[in-house]
Amino acid sequence: MFLARLSRFTGALPSGIIVLGVAFCALPAHPAIACNGAQNIHLIEPVKIDAPLLAELRAMPPLKVVAVNAPPMARYDEGRQTYDGIATDILCFIAKELGIGFDIIPGRDETVVDKIRHVQEGRADLFIPLSHSAERAKRGLFTIPYYESHYAIIARHRSRISVHTIDDLGKYRVGYVKGVSFEPILQTLVPASQLHPYNQTSSDGLFQAVQDGVIDVAVFNKDIFIEKRYRQEFFDLEVIHTLHEHPRAYRYYFSRSSAHQRLVDAFNQYLAVLDISVSVMEHEDGERHFIERYMAQRHQKVMLLSASVAAALLALFFYLALLRYRRVTNLLTERNTYIQQQRQALQEAYQKLETLSQTDSLTGLSNRRRFDQMLTYEYARYRRTGSPLSLLIIDVDHFKSVNDHYGHATGDGYLHAIARILERNVARSTDLVARYGGEEFTCLLADTAAEDALTLAERINRDVAEQGLPNASASPPWLTLSIGIATIIGGDPGAQALFDQADAQLYAAKQTGRNRICATVIGH
């Protein structure tokens, strides 16, 4: 997914990019920058910066950087009292490439609005991370985007609040962090009397207000909330809707000056050709990271409790050893059994949470998040080994007619049946079957040639046809599939290109009458 997020923003940039020349090496540089994320970032192709501009940039004083705790882009580390994340990895890499210095100012007692104002008034040079708005662009300089995320609607668990589209927010009391770029949209949809902006140094007050019933829902970045939910133990809150129609593209935000404009231009040259996949894999999976941390903390508490109980029982044992040895021994055994049961329960809970975070609830297949992770992983393996990698994108033909004619319960049953057929046919441990969304499925096939992928697709189509699932509104009047296949055997176009080619073949299959398979090979 991160390749999709990055590539959609880079198409309009100049293509005349070549490697830094000898002049780069001859210029003075700042001392090495003390950050650890640059190794997670790589160039897809070289970048050329003119020697005079490079000399000017290197002569600049270190950038004063302000940041907010917005994982996975920027996550505040209490122990080291600094930030890490995708945004800081990229900043570290580009700063080292350009030979410029920077200092990140913690500013933990300041709000988001305060920090943005510091940049706009020239008291700080750079804010990370920030999404674009026209008002902000008037008072500062944005780079091109480097990461995309989404806002989510957050409510109390089992609150029976129903939000299917953003327009439904007008019925509820809505809280949000003051100053975010989404604020103008909320102000147009929700009456002022129902809007509750929170201008605090932490978003915890916003979530506490939802828990206490002061507001009905909170609008907040989904990735950041997932981490905070486990960090602050907001377990009675949940995401009830994700605003996919309003993606937030995050950028670097500089104070406005001619020197910073030239620096932004240099940043844009790098952002256009960066591979941030390693950084995304390390920082994006915040939910798993904090589940593990939470479970480790719970485990530590259990161990401390176990030690306390054991110490008490040991003292009791010595006190009553002569009179009640057998009873104390039995009691100690019971306590140890209880501790083992609690430990086992915690482990099972962790495994269940990890599985749920990667599983589609209707079909039991992997979900889109798991597919995006594995596409990145398998493409990296293709680059290492050169073995062919195939991708099937499958769409159920005329599925809307099924729901309209037979009802959604029948439609869900059809999807479940297709999922079982896919599981039977795509059975290798190295393969992945996922429900990508709605009536769309994907099959990621490692070390699979084009002809083998086509044979598999034909077998899937045949098995679905043999089910004879009725679809009276379609022609033929039973359930069929359209399948697009892309196989990469050479070159390095990127994982997103593999997905786009398979999607294009699916489109061709549907445009030429549905109930068919279209395939292509990349790199032959």
What tens digit of pLDDT does each residue of 350-402 get?
Answer: 666 666 678 999 999 999 999 999 999 999 999 999 999 999 999 999 999 99
Cα separation, 282 vs 224, in Å, equals 15
SS3 413: helix
Tokens representing residue 60 in the block: 């600049």
Chain centroid to CA 101: 29
Residue closest to 282 by CA, chosen among 72, 75, 80, 87: 72
Q: Where are the beta strands (DSSP E) in 18-122?
A: 42-43, 63-67, 75-77, 82-84, 102-105
Phi, psi angle pair for 44, to nearest 5°: -75, -35
Q: What is the per-residue DSSP string for 466-495?
A: HHT-B-TTSSSSB--EEEEEEEE-SS---H
**HSE (side-chain half, CA atoms, 13 Å) at 438:** 12
Tokens representing residue 407 in the block: 């009802």
**Burial group, residue 28, by CB count within 10 angstroms (0-12, 13-18, 19+):** exposed
Residue closest to 287 by CA, chosen among 108, 124, 506, 72: 72
What tens digit of pLDDT does each residue of 175-228 get?
Answer: 998 878 788 889 999 999 999 998 776 778 899 999 999 999 999 988 888 877
Contacts of 438 (CB under 8 A, 6+ apart): 399
| pLDDT beneath 50, residues of the chain | 1-34, 287
pLDDT at 30: 38
Cα separation, 240 vs 497, in Å, equals 32
CB 206 within 8 A of CB 119: no
pLDDT at 327: 78
Measured CA to CA in angstroms, residue 333 lies from 258, 302, 318, 337 at distances of 74, 17, 16, 6
Residue closest to 479 by CA, chosen among 428, 425, 405, 424: 405
Q: List, edge to edge, every strand of the sheet that includes 481-488.
A: 432-437, 440-446, 389-396, 481-488, 517-522
Measured CA to CA in angstroms, residue 410 lies from 35, 119, 241, 366, 401 at distances of 55, 56, 24, 21, 11
SS3 115: helix
Tokens representing residue 479 in the block: 């359930």
- Report the run of H or E that residue 92 belongs to, with start and end: helix 86-98
3-state secondary structure 134-203: HHHHHHEEECCCCEEEEEEEEEECCCCCCCCCHHHHHHCCEEEECCCCCHHHHHHHCCHHHEEEECCCCC
Beta bridge partners of 70: 74
Q: Are strands 389-396 and 217-221 parallel, antiparallel or unpaired?
A: unpaired
Q: What is the per-residue DSSP string for 311-339?
A: HHHHHHHHHHHHHHHHHHHHHHHHHHHHH
Tokens representing residue 437 in the block: 């969304």
Q: Residue written as tokens 């089992």?
A: 158
pLDDT at 152: 92
**HSE (side-chain half, CA atoms, 13 Å) at 32:** 4
